[in-house]
Amino acid sequence: MKSEILIIGGGIIGLSIARELDQRGLSGIMVVEQGYCGEQSSWAAAGMLGAQAETDEPGDMLSFCVESRSMYPELAGSLLDDTGIDIELDQKGTLYLAFDDDDAARISQRVRWQRNAGLEALTLSGPETRRTEPFVSPEVIGGALFPNDWQVDNRKLLSALRRYADLRGITVVEQTTVNSLNISNGVVTGAGTSTGEISADRTIIATGAWTSLIKIGAFPVPIAVKPIRGQMIAFRTAKRLFERVVYSTNGYMVPRADGRVLIGATSEDVGFNKDISAIATAGLIETASKIAPALGSLPVIEEWAGLRPAGPDRMPILGEFSGVRGLYVATGHYRNGILLAPRTAELIADLMIDGGRSPYLDAFSPDRFRIS
Ligand code: GLY
């Protein structure tokens, strides 16, 4: 098979890059996915756009998250126009709960540095927190509100991106595993796959947790990305009890428009294993009960697990490897693949089309892990 641009990986990152390149007028785009598009980590995610709830300090990661989050209203509108799929961008914000003085101190500190960084964040008293979300636990002593940390339905987002690819004639090849990239005189020229050779002028690795399994020629790709399992559960409430995403130090709760309430998530270094365990489910039910006691007595309607792609410093890995031409990488998004997809796609497209050198390409360069 022949392509001009070969994107390896049909998850949120690969499909977002395919869309961005198509929108910029590039053709001959092919996405190769080892299973079915969007059915791994992107499907398992909770869809939180938690730039402020999930980032622990100011810096490149915070600004990258905030910039990507701000792209979602336009992305949601454009996907609805192009595909007819509503990705359910919900802009009601995120509430962070404090159950004790340590939580309260940590949350106030987060609000302080974020306000100093020019972001909207409010500290709330216990009664203010409960007025904001009446079904949270009476044990809550305070909280913080991040009005611009939103959520989307990640499964609908993936369906929309997949449909976009079909409508635009982007070639999508599923159930095909890339074993190794073909390299000649320092230039990547395509890939050898389980169903044959694919030639490409430019190749993008967007393989998330599976990145380190790919070889360049005979050598493993020089990036250590490992899977970190996250198990989740969902309840259903007869009517919507919560307006916002709710975080706590033990886990989070994501209320969906269809009445489902998602609870996440474990963080387990157990390799490529997506089993769900009774212990984890029990722990997640406990987390739910702690956040909102009303949830604890409901039946669990769904349990699932996904694999977060974790690089050595848990930051994204974006750009080119020095000394290798025709190859780009966009992986290692760890807990924030859904959040970071639009800005990642823009950054990779800028680099591929105009050679755009964003400072993020230095901060998140794959070369940062090289020993010499
Ligand atoms: N971003 C939430 C998680 O990875 O569990």
Please tell me the distance between residue 308's alpha carbon and the centre of ligand 1 in angstroms.
8
Rounded CA separation 167/56 (Å): 40
Distance (Å) from CA 265 to ligand 1 centroid: 7
In a domain, 65, yes or no: no
Query: pLDDT digits over 337-369, tens only?
Result: 999 999 999 999 999 998 888 999 999 999 998
Indicate the average pLDDT of the chain: 96
CB under 8 Å to 74, separation ≥6 — which residues?
none
Q: Which of 108, 104, 99 is nearest to 140 (CA)?
A: 99
Q: Measured from the CB, is residue 46 less than 6 Å from ligand 1? A: yes
Of the CA atoms within 13 Å of residue 137, those in its CB half-sphere come to 24
| Paired residues of 30 in beta bridges | 6, 171
Tell whether 37 is covered by a domain.
yes
Q: 301 and 316, same structural domain?
A: no
* Alpha-carbon torsion (198, 204, 210, 216), positive or negative: positive
In this structure, the answer to whether residues 200 and 162 fall within a common structural domain is: yes
Q: Which of 293, 310, 327 is the last residue of a domain?
A: 310
Q: Determine the average pLDDT of the residues in 144-157.
A: 98
What is the per-residue pLDDT across 100-149, written as a single tens digit (0 to 9) for each?
A: 999 999 999 999 999 999 999 999 999 999 999 999 999 999 999 999 99
Ligand 1 close to Cβ of residue 262 (< 6 A)? no
Please give the share of the chain, as a percent, with pLDDT higher than 90. Answer: 94
Tell whether 165 and 215 lie within a shared domain: yes
Among 286, 310, 334, residue at a domain's last position: 310
Q: Specify the number of domains making up the chain.
A: 2
Ligand 1 within 6 A of CB of 229: no
Which residue, judged by its Cα, is nearest atom 2 of ligand 1? 335
Band (pLDDT 50/70/90 cuts) for residue 55 is very high
Same domain, 218 and 256: no
- In this structure, the residue with its CA closest to atom 4 of ligand 1 is 335
How far away, in angstroms, is 193 Cα from ligand 1 center?
Answer: 31
Domain annotation covers residue 69: no
CB of 265 sitting under 6 A from ligand 1: yes
Distance 151 CA to ligand 1 centre (A): 12
Nearest atom (ligand 1) to Cα of 267: 5
The pLDDT confidence band at residue 371, using thresholds 50, 70 and 90, is low
- Model confidence, pTM: 0.97
Do both 111 and 243 map to the same domain?
Answer: yes
The confidence score (pLDDT) of residue 254 equals 98
Residue-level pLDDT at 370: 77
Question: Domain range for residue 244?
Answer: 91-148+227-310
Residue 316 sits in the same domain as residue 306: no
Asked if residue 170 has pLDDT above 90, the reply is yes
Q: How confident is the model at residue 372 (pLDDT cuts 50, 70, 90)?
A: low
Mutate to test the pocket of ligand 1, among 152, 253, 308 (most ligand atoms within 8 A of CB): 308
Q: Is the CB of 143 under 6 A from ligand 1?
A: no
Same domain, yes or no: 270 and 258: yes
Q: Do 183 and 122 fall within a single domain?
A: no
- Identify whether residues 279 and 337 lie together within a single domain: no
**Tokens found for residue 235:** 């309840």
